[in-house]
Chain A
């Protein structure tokens, strides 16, 4: 390892990439402590600064909804594809009568049915050469499996997709001879739309969870389901290819995750006087030197400006206490405004 410098140069100095590779922790600490008033990270952001977002929807031909998003150097493409699960082949006989008063469907708990029928099938693929750690030809890594489990759990627990939107209903023609005046609107569930949500990482530079969720959210908002109906003549479910008949998904709320990594500064004289930084939206380099991560999901679409907390995940380390967590929730609430703008602008 050529670390020797010429004698005319008294200070031992390295070019940036070598310093970063040799001793990542002091490298980041040197950056954060070099300007005490405005500590900058190695990537030029302040500790509280998130990366800017770019969203582009509807670019894939064979998807009902799609989005390509960019979050700094992380780029993700997500496609939502709808296929039909008919009630007969679905293995579960669920055709029953539905009441008419399902308009205010905000209250009913339909997550159980979506989950048991497996109507939402999210999957991710990291092995696209997106980063040197995830090479193709291997089974999904533990990281990929954890990531997709977290995404699925957020999809289900935030109840973002309504079961109503996925149902394919059929109203049998009422027989005029029989007078069923009390139960006129008898509707049968003939099938369900199943949404395959496939997320490919084109480039991975940290914060995979937020990026994947942004892509999924943008793709779901873009999703257009054709009008599907039961055809009595052919006894199958057919769809109308007229875009005017198709409907968008009415998503419940807008859960916005914000991920933080805690960088534990080390003081030089081995006392526990090191300063800790909570870095917003860590990139891959920062993730590699941070042990503790926090992910806060807030939803500001209901509950006023304060928003509602949907989820908090924290793993490793012991820096974030209740006080810090409060500030993180505030930071996440501010961040969700940016997401709202980006998503509605697309």
Chain B
């Protein structure tokens, strides 16, 4: 409940509040299951990615990534599944404060923060362990990519805000688990998707900031899921899983992948992988290559706009105001 009142923020009612419970779910047994989403894509098909750079003018580099979900239903207020919306901004590179010890290379600080409205249950403002963990994973993914030796005595902040995050599983399973039929997920499958998205969006923002990198890193996820219709150990490997669409995820893996060098900077695997983990890693790298193609296109477009745009824009500006450089009197 309300953790010790945070005196720097505005707190809700002291007794805490509860999320609304919908009547039809409680009263009609079959209704909950009818809301369950299912995967309509092929096993190797990725979701569409929307990516844009340069959305935060006050930062040195920024990017926004969205993996949209299907349109909200008109017949119910309960959202069936979440989409992924990430915003990343880069502050720096800038000189370290004088008090900081000498560093021969660029110090990378990564922060991942969920917005309070990012998930089905409301989140707090103070970073929790999950967010710190994601931040560390993101740092590992990026550290090997940036050529840090070129910026001695400086630091850069990579801040990713999760405006909306993928869910760990279908909320209905969680809901029925809470009501006493055992089980419960809490597995964090959704975090892998969030991490992969963070890697891709941070990579775009780093490119936007013009920080030297060895290659473009991109994130990808693959999972092994149990086929719900068949019995036994009938498992399928899928790329870019949406955990809420699968009842039983056996294992999943997220990678940060440098396609040009065929290197993996970050690998996060969960679950029971079985005898052949390479297959899962391969799947994740395939997914990463998929998001790389979007990433590459977006960055190329942004660079083209940057170098073509100002030339024409500058001309029109010059015509309007003759003095671009203001002369300093005295």
Contacts and interface: CB of A to CB of B under 8 A. Distances in A.
Interface of A: 11-16, 19, 23, 26-27, 30-31, 34, 40, 60-63, 66, 73, 75, 77, 79, 81-86, 89-91, 117-119, 121-123, 125, 127-132, 135-137, 139-140, 145, 148, 152, 194, 196, 198, 200, 202-205, 224, 226, 228-229, 231, 234, 236-243, 246, 284
Interface of B: 8-26, 55-59, 62, 69, 72, 74-79, 82-83, 87-91, 94, 109, 111, 113, 115-120, 122, 125, 127, 157, 159, 161, 163-164, 321, 323-329
A238 B22 contact: yes
B117 A136 contact: no
A75 B55 CA distance: 9
Contact of A16 (B59, B326, B329): B326
Given A238-B26, A246-B77, A85 B327 contact: no
A228 B19 CA distance: 12
Given A19-B326, A62-B164, A83-B122, A123 B9 contact: yes
Nearest to A11: B327
A83 B90 contact: no
Given A128-B87, A129-B89, A239 B326 contact: no
Given A125-B115, A130-B58, A200-B115, A241 B91 contact: no
Given A62-B119, A84-B20, A226-B77, A75 B56 contact: yes
Contacts, number: 211
A61 B58 contact: no
Given A129-B62, A196-B122, 12 more contacts: A16-B326, A62-B164, A79-B116, A84-B20, A123-B116, A125-B115, A132-B91, A132-B94, A200-B163, A228-B20, A243-B74, A243-B75
Contacts of B62: 129, 203
Contact of A196 (B22, B57, B116): B116
Contact of B90 (A14, A19, A90, A129): A129
A203 B56 contact: yes
Given A14-B325, A136-B113, A202 B15 contact: no
Given A129-B91, A196-B12, A12 B122 contact: no
A297 to B, nearest CB: 20
A30 B326 contact: yes
A203 B118 CA distance: 18
B47 to A, nearest CB: 15
A239 B82 contact: no
B76 A241 contact: yes
Contacts of B13: 85, 90-91, 117-119, 194
Nearest to A89: B15
A237 B115 CA distance: 27
A152 B9 CA distance: 11
A94 to B, nearest CB: 12
A123 B58 CA distance: 22
A194 B57 CA distance: 35
Contacts of B79: 61-62
B323 A34 contact: yes
B161 to A, nearest CB: 4
B164 A135 contact: no
Nearest to A140: B8
Contact of A73 (B21, B57, B116, B125): B57
Contact of B20 (A27, A128, A239): A239
Contacts of B117: 60, 62-63, 66, 79, 81, 196, 198
A202 B17 contact: no
B18 A86 contact: yes
A241 B24 contact: yes
A224 B74 CA distance: 13
Contacts of A205: 57-58
A125 B126 CA distance: 11
B18 A84 contact: yes
B52 to A, nearest CB: 12
Contacts of A238: 21-23, 26
A89 B2 CA distance: 13
B115 A79 contact: yes
